[in-house]
Structure 1
Amino acid sequence: MIKVILNGCCGKMGKTVTELSKDFPNIEIVAGVDKFLNKKYNYKIFSSINEIDFEYDVLLDFSRPESLEDLLTFSVAKKKPIILCTTGYNKKDLELIEEKSKLIPIFKSANMSLGINLINSLLKKIVPVLYKNFDIEIIEKHHNQKVDSPSGTALQLANTIKNSLSKESSYIYGRYGSKKRTKEEIGIHSIRGGSIVGEHEIIFAGTGEVIEISHKAISREVFAIGALKACEFMASINIAGLYNMDNLLKI
């Protein structure tokens, strides 16, 4: 049995992960951490990760970037793997993750959807072929409560596109003014409204034709399933390093 601590257990994703964990007979959530102790689960909820002093196998985080340092310190002390599903990390956060990955296994993904990560893998192959004759734009849509913009997934897709090119490119966040688009631009556009779970579209606009690759998450379950599969994967990892969905999917 894989024993999981769920940080951010009382949030929307925490609730979904808890419910879907029942479909994973080899996974047991043994404790939750959240500043809002307002949910009744079949596991105990702590207000701080530092209050937990019993054995576990994997720490799964669906919270906010502000909790990163405490979570990493705790995981390094316990010598246990951690799965980071949170987005909105700044440069200092990313450097800290990189530093701690030399000590423990860290799984980090901006999007836990299997579909999004397969699209991300596909981009590595098609972008070098299409770039010469196509302009590339990304549109992402999320609910009106999402804090970070652009989404972590949009940035993940944009970084994959940028890293797949031999020429320098730059990000343009939205468009305003009368300046013409340049070839080197990768446009990233964010929409916030209602209860949209998450939609991402990559547009390759050429002369006389347009190629669109899109992904729509119609429920949060897709992210929870990916996170629980990551728990299964990371429970077997005992080598320090930075892991992601490519490792899980073996792509």
Structure 2
Amino acid sequence: MTKVAINGAKGKMGLALIDSINLNKNVNFGGGFDKGDSLDMALDDFDVLIDFTRPEATLSALSSCLSSSKAMVIGTTGFSDNELETINQASNKIPIVFAPNMSIGVNLTLKILETSAKVIGPDSSIEIIESHHRFKVDSPSGTAIKMGEVVANALGRDLSKCAIYGREGIEEPRDLNTIGFSSIRGGDVVGEHTVIFFMEGERVEITHKASSRMIYANGAVRAAHWLHNKPNGLYSMQDVLDL
């Protein structure tokens, strides 16, 4: 039985994770931590830590997990390039599942996007539109960026060089090699992502809509159980789901 602890246990996502653990027969709840709590005092109480907080809190928890060789599932988004490298380096010493979205449906969508981009992407204008609740602080969402990376990689492009984040004013006609992003924030939207491939005379829209945080929680708990006793390394939800 895998003992799973939660960082950020008092937040909306943290509470959903605890509910998911209690409903999962393969795991036990190994403790919850929030601002001001000392993770180092309870490192013997869990096998895997799940973290959906903020980059600074996640990196602090990562340091504690490194010191005690504990596995970690990271669903936090908004990391800088240097912070991403810190996570990558840490995976040489502990097993980590790191994914911007733990939803099974989203990860299946990523696989569909890869196939779609290879078939129709070179001849289309590609736009990614994402919507979230008004409290989400980073944009585009980590999931939208991951979708862009999947599409760009399938087309042999570098997303950092072809991404367009919003438009304003008078521009040249759209470059087919770019990938556009639009972010919407408002209300209590859990998360909606649409990738549109615009072609001459037709378009293909691939959409994933989330109506409950439990889809992310259930995926993260599944990842935590899968990760227990895995070799050191950096894993994705594609690995967890064998996609």
Q: TM-score interval w.r.t. the shorter chain?
A: over 0.9
Q: Secondary structure at the match of 1:184?
A: coil
Structure 1 segments (4+ residues) deviating >6 Å:
none
Per the TM alignment, residue 115 of structure 1 is displaced from its structure 2 partner at its CA by 0.6
Whether the 8 Å CA contact 1:82–1:106 is kept in 2: the answer is yes
Per the TM alignment, residue 194 of structure 1 is displaced from its structure 2 partner at its CA by 0.4
Amino acid at match of 2:180: G
TM-score of the superposition, structure 1-length normalised? Answer: 0.92
Counterpart in the other structure of 2:225: 232
Distance 1:241 1:167 in 2: 26
Identity of aligned residues (%): 40
Counterpart in the other structure of 1:149: 139
Per the TM alignment, residue 53 of structure 1 is displaced from its structure 2 partner at its CA by 4.2
Per the TM alignment, residue 124 of structure 1 is displaced from its structure 2 partner at its CA by 1.8
Amino acid at match of 2:123: N
Counterpart in the other structure of 1:63: 53
Amino acid at match of 1:136: I
Summarize deviations over 1:164-201 as a string: whole Å, max 9, x none.
Answer: 11355611111111112111110000000000000000
- Segment drifting more, 55-64 vs 239-248: 55-64
Whether the 8 Å CA contact 2:122–2:155 is kept in 1: the answer is no
- Residue 170, structure 1, aligned to residue 162, structure 2: yes
The 1:24/1:134 distance shift into structure 2, 3 A limit, reads: same
Counterpart in the other structure of 2:107: 117
Counterpart in the other structure of 2:211: 218
- Residue 246, structure 1, aligned to residue 207, structure 2: no
Counterpart in the other structure of 1:9: 9
Amino acid at match of 1:209: E
Amino acid at match of 2:30: V
Q: Secondary structure at the match of 1:119?
A: helix
The 1:138/1:8 distance shift into structure 2, 3 A limit, reads: same
Q: Secondary structure at the match of 1:246?
A: helix
Whether the 8 Å CA contact 1:68–1:93 is kept in 2: the answer is no
Summarize deviations over 1:191-239 as a string: whole Å, max 9, x none.
Answer: 00000000000000111101000000011111011011011101141x1
- Give 5+ residue unaligned stretches, structure 1: 36-45
The 1:13/1:167 distance shift into structure 2, 3 A limit, reads: closer
- Give 5+ residue unaligned stretches, structure 2: none
- Segment drifting more, 47-56 vs 174-183: 47-56
Whether the 8 Å CA contact 1:9–1:15 is kept in 2: the answer is yes
Distance 2:79 2:142 in 1: 9
Distance 2:122 2:232 in 1: 39
Counterpart in the other structure of 1:43: none
Count of matched residue positions in the alignment of Structure 1 and Structure 2? 240
Whether the 8 Å CA contact 2:43–2:68 is kept in 1: the answer is no
Distance 2:20 2:238 in 1: 23
Distance 1:219 1:167 in 2: 33
Per the TM alignment, residue 28 of structure 1 is displaced from its structure 2 partner at its CA by 1.3
Distance 1:48 1:110 in 2: 26
Distance 1:202 1:114 in 2: 17
Summarize deviations over 1:229-251 as a string: whole Å, max 9, x none.
Answer: 011101141x1110011111111
Summarize deviations over 1:56-106 as a string: whole Å, max 9, x none.
Answer: 210111111011332222111111210001111111110001111111111
Q: Secondary structure at the match of 2:44?
A: coil
The 1:202/1:54 distance shift into structure 2, 3 A limit, reads: same
Summarize deviations over 1:11-67 as a string: whole Å, max 9, x none.
Answer: 0001111112221122111211101xxxxxxxxxx7132232424210111111011
Per the TM alignment, residue 131 of structure 1 is displaced from its structure 2 partner at its CA by 1.8
Counterpart in the other structure of 2:177: 184
C-alpha RMSD of matched pairs (Å) = 1.3
Query: 1:107 aligned to 79, 91, 97, which one?
Result: 97
- Segment drifting more, 23-32 vs 83-92: 23-32
Q: Secondary structure at the match of 2:56?
A: helix
